[in-house]
Amino acid sequence: MYNIVLFGPPGAGKGTQSEMIIDKFNLTHISTGDLFRKHLGEGTELGKLAQKYMDQGNLVPDEVVIKMVELKITSNNSSNGFIFDGFPRTVTQAKALDQLLEKQGTEISGMILLDVDEFELINRIMLRGKSSGRSDDQDINKVNNRIKVYKKETLPVATYYDEQGKLNKIVGVGSVDNIFSDISEVIETLPH
Ligand code: ADP
């Protein structure tokens, strides 16, 4: 069973690569951003709560995110493994995830960090905003705030996994297929 954290700043390509990884390795995709957008589209209470934070490019409170992920894990307990995309985004979330997986008798196999420079990130996000309809992709102030939040609150998560020898860095610039082949090579070396 593989449990993989796909990590990186906004616009690093986590969504694109996740789709390819779940197909090849038969994993369950848990993207907290996608889950929040689904709730938002359905107008649920959770969606309304998350919207306030997402609109500003701030993080949704940890306890809300963790509860949502827990539900997703327990409702897929016969899965072959999970790919976590956009989660954990804080050290509190990372510790909670370890506990959730421990309860299922499993653990994180490895974390893959997609490394992309800031200039490229901003270009990609603003380009995506033209077709995605995501309001947080269309406003340069919101984009800059997401990158700021990433550096301050999310980057410490990389150290958390590095200290456990689980961090694998991949260059996230180049063709989608080449990046995917680099990621696949790493996944095949992970304990599972
Ligand atoms: P991106 O990585 O491109 O910024 P996501 O789709 O992963 O986009 O997330 C969009 C927004 O959803 C974030 O800016 C944040 O407000 C919220 N969000 C997603 N995942 C989390 C999380 N794990 N913790 C807190 N907030 C989150």
What are the extents of the domains in the chain? Answer: 2-189
What does CATH list as the number for 2-189?
A: 3.40.50.300
pLDDT for the residue 83: 98
Q: State whether the beta carbon of 129 lies less than 6 angstroms from ligand 1.
A: no
Name the residue type at position 33.
G
Q: Which atom belonging to ligand 1 lies closest to the Cα atom of 69?
A: 23
Give the residue whose CA is nearest to atom 19 of ligand 1: 33
**How far, in Å, from the CA of 80 to the mean position of ligand 1?**
25
Rounded distance between C-alpha atoms, residue 164 and residue 134, angstroms: 35
Cβ pair 192, 1 in contact under 8 A: yes
DSSP secondary structure letters along 45-68: HHHHHHHHHHHHTPPPPHHHHHHH
Q: State whether the beta carbon of 153 lies less than 6 angstroms from ligand 1.
A: no
Give the residue whose CA is nearest to atom 6 of ligand 1: 33
Q: State whether the beta carbon of 60 lies less than 6 angstroms from ligand 1.
A: yes
Per-residue pLDDT for 192 more than 90? Answer: no
**How far, in Å, from the CA of 67 to the mean position of ligand 1?**
15
CB-CB neighbours of 20 under 10 Å: 16
Q: State whether the beta carbon of 87 lies less than 6 angstroms from ligand 1.
A: yes
Instruction: Compute CA distances 91 → 96, 138, 155, whole Å.
Output: 9, 28, 9
pLDDT for the residue 63: 97
Is 134 tagged catalytic? yes
Rounded distance between C-alpha atoms, residue 55 and residue 185, angstroms: 36
Q: What is the mean pLDDT of residues 91-107?
A: 97
Is 146 tagged catalytic? yes
Q: Could you read off the pLDDT of 22-67 as tens digits, one per residue?
A: 999 999 999 999 999 999 999 999 999 999 999 999 999 999 999 9
Q: State whether the beta carbon of 86 lies less than 6 angstroms from ligand 1.
A: yes
pLDDT for the residue 108: 98
Q: Could you read off the pLDDT of 142-153 as tens digits, one per residue?
A: 999 999 999 999
Please pick, among 124, 142, 146, 166, the residue that the annotation labels catalytic.
Answer: 146
Q: What is the mean pLDDT of residues 76-92?
A: 95
**How far, in Å, from the CA of 32 to the mean position of ligand 1?**
6
pLDDT for the residue 77: 84
Instruction: Compute CA distances 119 → 77, 147, 171, whole Å.
Output: 40, 11, 15
DSSP secondary structure letters along 121-183: HHHHHHHHHHHH--GGGT-HHHHHHHHHHIIIIIHHHHHHHHTTT-EEEEE--S-HHHHHHHH
pTM above 0.85, yes or no: yes
Q: Which atom belonging to ligand 1 lies closest to the Cα atom of 89?
A: 23
Classify residue 1 by its DSSP letter: -
Kindly state the percentage of the chain with pLDDT values over 90.
94
Q: What is the mean pLDDT of residues 114-136?
A: 94
